[in-house]
Amino acid sequence: MPHSHHSHSGQFCPGHARDSLESIVQHAISRQMTVFALTEHMPRHDLDRYPEEVGTTLEQQLANEEAYIKEAHRLRGKYKSQIQIPIGFEAEWIRPESQELIEASIQKHPYDFFIGSVHHVHTVPIDYDHEVYRGARSKAGGTDERLFEDYFDAQYAMLKAVKPPVVGHFDLIRLKSDDPNACFESMQGVWSRIQRNLDLISGYGGILEINSSAVRKGMHEPYPKAEICQAALARKIRFCLSDDSHGIDQIAHSYGQVLQFLDKMDIRSVTFLKHCESPGATEKKGSTDERFPNLQVECLDVKELKETEFRRFKKTA
């Protein structure tokens, strides 16, 4: 029954994740996942390499994307009787030119959807390590609050430009901050930007992922935090589940805590994505994005997510 709409493999994200794509799919099946989306990172410009990627080129990343698409479709066909595998990618908004690469991936490959994420502010990674985060904070004016404002401004630019079907780890910016569990509502400039961004997501029908990786990394709540979820609920924004796994050991990690969080937030339903082989043959549900004709969005009552189902997904050491 559990779903995840965000995952990475060591095969197509080397240095950042682990394990082959097929072993990840096999492990998701063994954990009785019913929907497991594949969402490797999109190609990025040569200026935007992480330390472990120094020396790689955009051309190499484009070739990697081609290989990923080919393998993902092979696996979907091989395991279609055992699990639903929507195929997508995680978009990277780093600079305005990022839009060109995002749109090129959508136009070139038969993706079902993509996740819209921001991992950089002022072109500096904000989730890599504390030292690099401090460099981004310095560029923003020297405080977490100022960096938060700039992060949500970058996110707004991404949302407005490409309208991602799923919005990834909405408040990722708190990961390396001085207090990752701090309340955003107490920061007037930050909170006004969060509300603005949620209004935009609501307006075009985007879905917020409840991303368990924040709990896996030691935070009290998943992405997004409670006050953001409450503000999203007030705007009738939909939610989906994601583990943001980077290897088989992280699949469905912390889902027990996520279920408790859903109850606490009074989130009564979650959406899940499916690949529809013949979109014209059946009535599509919940998807109005013309860019992805094979995308089907369905809804599941949280009451159906029995707590016993999630006891298998307790946080591991």
Cβ atoms within 10 A of the Cβ of 264, count?
A: 11
Residue 94's closest CA among 62, 116, 70?
A: 116
Residue 188's closest CA among 154, 152, 220, 136?
A: 152
> Does some domain include residue 70?
no
> Does some domain include residue 107?
yes
> Does some domain include residue 3?
no
> Does some domain include residue 217?
yes
pLDDT tens digits along 131-166: 999 999 999 999 999 999 999 999 999 999 999 999
What pLDDT, on a 0 to 100 scale, did the predictor assign at position 286? 66
* CB distance 274 to 84 below 8 Å: yes
CATH code assigned at 96: 3.20.20.140
What pLDDT, on a 0 to 100 scale, did the predictor assign at position 49? 87
> Does some domain include residue 252?
yes
> Does some domain include residue 9?
no
> Does some domain include residue 305?
yes
Find where tokens 């075009």 sit. Answer: 204
What pLDDT, on a 0 to 100 scale, did the predictor assign at position 277? 83
pLDDT tens digits along 28-86: 999 999 999 999 999 999 999 887 888 889 999 999 999 999 999 999 999 999 999 99
CA atoms lying within 13 Å on the CB side of residue 223? 23
Give the structural domain span for 99: 90-313
Which positions of the chain have pLDDT values less than 50? Answer: 281-282, 315-317
How many domains, in total, are found in the chain? 1
> Does some domain include residue 232?
yes
Largest CA distance in the chain: 56
Structure tokens at 78: 């091989």
Residue 122's closest CA among 102, 108, 142?
A: 142
